[in-house]
Chains A and B, each alone.
Chain A
Amino acid sequence: MPYLPTSQAYLEQSAQLLQAYPDTTRIVTKYNFPTNRRGNLKRAYKSQVRKDTAKPTDAPSTTPAPPSAATATLTLKTFNPTTGICLHYRTNKAQEVGRLITSLGKLAAGADVAGLGLSAAVPAAGADVEMTDAPAPAEEVAPVAGKAQGQVQGQGQGQSAKGKKKGGKGKR
């Protein structure tokens, strides 16, 4: 199920899920370090190599420090067993912990989307517009593509292209 890109999106969606199913929805916060399994280490090494080749100029100065100290990750999960809806958010930044936990408290106390006070925290009006704009075309396109893959694909693509253009204009 989806990992949401921003903590704000995660908290908003979670608030909606909790509002819809207040009795059965639960939130799990996982704090964990990467394991030392061989597959995991390999994957981490490969992604590191990929990063190094992508940015050759940064590699010598920044890379030696991170691998020595494994960074933990914090994964937030909102799960509703009756509908099977599961929302994720993952971060490795220590500065987010306090804010996330306080927001979880607000969710636990039954706050709605507005009660979280997140929209006020958004710095620029432009970003706000982008947030409300962006999800709409994505939602429209997905069901169309799913229902009739071959026939309506042209339309679906047209819609998505429109959505993207709109989004671009809005941001600039």
Chain B
Amino acid sequence: MAPHLGQDEFFKSLGELLSKTSQQVQGSVYLTQKPLIDVPGATTTNSQPSILIRATDGNTNTPNLKKEGKDKVAKKSQKVKLSTIVNPDEIEAFYVRYAEVCKAGMTGLKKRDRRGRKAKTKGGAAKVTKA
């Protein structure tokens, strides 16, 4: 397994991964967060564990047997796998940057810049609450 990255490096790579996916208009990015427990190197304060953050593009390095005979084999790229550890006292600062990177990278989502649509959704929301 690849070693954990520092936070700056992690954010840089995550930004690249997200923008690459958005530009291709294809593929996925998986972001996982879970507590690190009983692992050497993880600091625990106030019974609050460190958090492990992972990011992958969901590719598998194992060949897909169904597609073996087809032309997709040549395209197969290596799995992108990033991970970093966030200490309990850094969580808040980390998530501020994390949210910024995600907002900047996830450009494929719907924006609310259209006035017509905005008015329509407002009307719809009002209806829902009244009904």
A residues with CB within 8 A of B: 22-23, 25-33, 35-36, 61-62, 69-74, 91-95, 97-98, 101-102, 104-106, 108-110, 124, 126-127, 171
A31 near B95 (CB under 8 angstroms)?
Answer: no
Selected contact of B31 from candidates A31, A61, A92, A94, CB within 8 Å: A31
Selected contact of B99 from candidates A22, A94, A102, A124, CB within 8 Å: A102
Number of chain B residues close to chain A: CB under 8 A:
43
Cross-chain pairs A/B with CB under 8 angstroms, 21 sampled: A23-B35, A27-B34, A29-B31, A31-B102, A33-B25, A33-B27, A36-B26, A62-B116, A92-B110, A93-B109, A94-B109, A94-B112, A101-B99, A102-B96, A104-B33, A105-B92, A105-B94, A105-B99, A106-B95, A108-B95, A109-B91
A72 near B22 (CB under 8 angstroms)?
Answer: yes
A79 to B1, CA, bound (A): 23
Chain B neighbourhood of A69, CB < 8 A: 25
Closest B residue by C-beta to A73: B109
B108 near A108 (CB under 8 angstroms)?
Answer: no
B27 near A32 (CB under 8 angstroms)?
Answer: yes
B109 near A97 (CB under 8 angstroms)?
Answer: yes
The contact string, 1 if C-beta is below 8 Å from chain A, for chain B 100-119, is: 10110011111110001100
A71 near B112 (CB under 8 angstroms)?
Answer: no
Selected contact of B35 from candidates A22, A30, A92, A105, CB within 8 Å: A22
Closest B residue by C-beta to A106: B95
B109 near A70 (CB under 8 angstroms)?
Answer: no
A102 near B31 (CB under 8 angstroms)?
Answer: no
Chain A neighbourhood of B110, CB < 8 A: 71, 92-94
Interface residue ranges of B11-31 to A (CB < 8 Å): 18, 21-22, 24-31
